[in-house]
Amino acid sequence: MSGKPVLYGATGCGSAVVEAGFILAGEDYDYVEASPWEPSDGLTALKAINPLVQVPTLVLPDGTVMTESVAILIWLMDRHPGRLGPGPGDPLRPSFLRWLVYLPAAIYPMYTVRDFVDQWVSGEKATGELKQSTVNRILLCWKNMEAALQPAAGGWLLGTPDLTALDLYICMMTRWTPRRDAIRAVAPGIVAVAERVDHDPRVVALWRRHFPDGYKDL
C-alpha cells in the first residue's frame, strides 16, 4: 500500500463525487481506473477485493475496504470536520443527511434498472416502457427535492457558506439520464446550483475529465 487511500473508480460514474470529496477535503489519494465495462488490470484488481465490482470502492491504508459513496463521504467528513457539510449539532445536519442519502437511495436504483433492463423484463416493448418509467421516476424524485428545498438563487443547495457533498452529488447526477435540460423543467433551482458547482475552480478539472462533452466551455 502507498500509505494513501486507493480509490477504484470509472470515468463518468459515481466515483466522481468521491473524488470531488477528496479534493475539497484536502485528502490525498491514489486513483485506479476500473471501469466495469472494459477489461483492464484495474478491473481485475477491483474484482479481487470487491466481487460486486462496485465503483467507487475505497481501500484504506490498513487494508479496510469501503463501498457506498455516501459512506465514503461521511468518512471523509469525520476526518475533516467543517468540510463537505454541516457537522453534528449544526441545525442543517438533519436535512443534509436526509438528502445526501436520498440521492443514492431514491434515484440511483433507477440506473441499476435501466442499465441492466434485460435482467428485469424481456421484449422490445417491455424494455422500452420500463426505461421510460425509470426516467419518469427520476424526474419525480428531482421535483420532490426541489419542492422541499426551494434552492435560493445564487446559493448552495442548503444555503451553506460553501458547497457541500450534496452540491457535488447534484452536479454529477444531473449529468446523467435524462440530463439537465429535462431536469431543469421540473427542478430549475437544483440545476442552477449544479451549474454553479460546474465552475468551482477546485473541481473544474475533475468534472472535465469525467464529463468532457458537458464541460467543453469550462
pLDDT of amino acid 215: 63
Span 58-88, pLDDT tens digits: 999 999 999 999 999 999 999 999 999 999 9
| Residue-range domains of the chain with CATH | 6-79 (3.40.30.10), 92-208 (1.20.1050.10)
pLDDT in tens, 131-180: 999 999 999 999 999 999 999 999 999 999 999 999 999 999 999 999 99
pLDDT digits (tens, 9 = 90+) for 85-119: 999 999 999 999 999 999 999 999 999 999 889 99
Per-residue model confidence as pLDDT tens digits over 12-51 = 999 999 999 999 999 999 999 999 999 999 999 999 999 9
The per-residue pLDDT for 12 is 95
SS3 annotation, the chain:
CCCCCEEEECCCCCHHHHHHHHHHHCCCCEEEECCCCCCCHHHHHHHHHCCCCCCCEEECCCCCEEECHHHHHHHHHHHCCCCCCCCCCCCCHHHHHHHHHHHHHHHHHHHHHHHCHHHCCCCHHHHHHHHHHHHHHHHHHHHHHHHHHCCCCCCCCCCCCCCCHHHHHHHHHCCCCCHHHHHHHHCHHHHHHHHHHHCCCCCHHHHHHHCHHHCCCC
Q: In this predicted structure, what is the pLDDT of residue 213? A: 84
pLDDT higher than 90, residue 214: no
